Amino acid sequence: MNKNSLKMIDLFAGAGGLSEGLSEAGFHSLFASEIVPVYAQTYKKNHPNTIVHTADIRELDANEIRNKLHIERGELDLIAGGPPCQGFSINAPIRSTLDERNHLFKEYLRFVDAFAPRAILIENVPGLVSFEHGATLHAILDALAELGYGADVRILGAPNYGVPQMRWRTIILGVRGRTLPAGAYPAPIYHAPIHANFTSTFNGQSIIQIPSPEANANFTTVHEAIGDLPPLASGEHGEKVKEYHCDAYCNYQRRSRTGSIGVINHEAPRLSPINLKRLEFIKPGGNWTDIPNELLPKGMQRAKKSDHTKRYGRVLPNGLASTIMTKCDPHWGAFFHYEQNRSFTVREAARLQSFPDYFIFTGNMSEQFAQVGNAVPPLLAKAVGLSLKSILETED
């Protein structure tokens, strides 16, 4: 660890996407808490110098952890994390304050109280803004204010920061003892074809970061993200570590390959015979409406052509991927490769999330997909981390 790096802890850490991006920005994670063992195993594998605690955060003594880390109150630079987002999500079937996951942010605040870090970062889904008509978000900001933090909220579009997929995240930033400075959130680097389909105002103001006219128009495409990975047939696994298909031909691929020994976590899920037959009819950019009616699932044979536009989708090589989910199941999204007759591999999903190739996922294939889909895109986390780092270094 660089002695000049900023010190942080990561709560609700998952596989470590947030920590990965923040580490690229100059933060070092001393401690991470994650309740799911295989997620924690992946985190530890990729952050071997971090103490990773696999436990329910409600059972952890924050002051005891601070003492074990030999950190004085007020000395830590950052507490980062994202309480489980399912209860907040605009896509959840029931969004209720009775869902105990909606109150886990209080555990995060308990650690903030114990450590009194210089800065805080909370990430969540866009639905947090509208949940309970904004009451939960107001409660978080009010609680942070009571702890002495000037905090604010923005919704950031991942492709505006170089991530090649349609993904939005709500980011709360706060600094101890003063108002969050203007320009605390990173300016979008790229224009990208994404549109908000959720509430994007809070306290009567838009909280989406919009690219300036000077921002680069050349967002990262799917082909740039995964075009150098070796081709596979449906169900093909091959060697555990594979060679790249070709030389890197764009900066995104060069960044992805840095420090990598080859292509890992790149095995193709096996599609059923009926899905392989359906796939023959789907063109790049197409979806289930390209499939002959008699080959469709019974439930979709009566669906409107304007509905479910991502189902059985084959991505456009020069476009963005749809949001990478915890299952890259073609029945639920556009997860077919643009030219190979198969669905995405874990490594392709990770590339579309902006994970570097040296980042290794543990567990079985379904567990690996879940880790990737639940993660914060590291490139987005890096952009936020660099912005926070600038604020903290200005204080020194």
CA distance 143 to 145: 5
Report the 10 Å Cβ neighbour count for 337: 23
Beta strands in 158-232 (DSSP E): 168-176, 201-202, 205-206
Are 333 and 325 a contacting pair, CB within 8 Å?
A: yes
Catalytic (active site) residue 85: yes
Closest CA to 245 of 265, 231, 258, 259: 231
- Among residues 85, 246, 250, 328, the one annotated as catalytic is 85
- Name the 3-class secondary structure at 232: coil
Are 19 and 13 a contacting pair, CB within 8 Å?
A: yes
Report the 10 Å Cβ neighbour count for 194: 16
Task: State phi, psi for 6 to the nearest 5 degrees.
Answer: -80, 145
Closest CA to 196 of 227, 230, 159: 159
Task: State phi, psi for 181 to the nearest 5 degrees.
Answer: -65, 150
Are 15 and 43 a contacting pair, CB within 8 Å?
A: yes
CA distance 255 to 248: 9
CA distance 153 to 178: 15
- Name the 3-class secondary structure at 153: strand
CA distance 230 to 245: 4
Closest CA to 171 of 107, 82, 78: 82
Please report how the helices 378-395 and 17-24 are oriented relative to each other, as an axis angle in degrees rounded to 10: 50
Q: Cite the active site residues.
A: 85
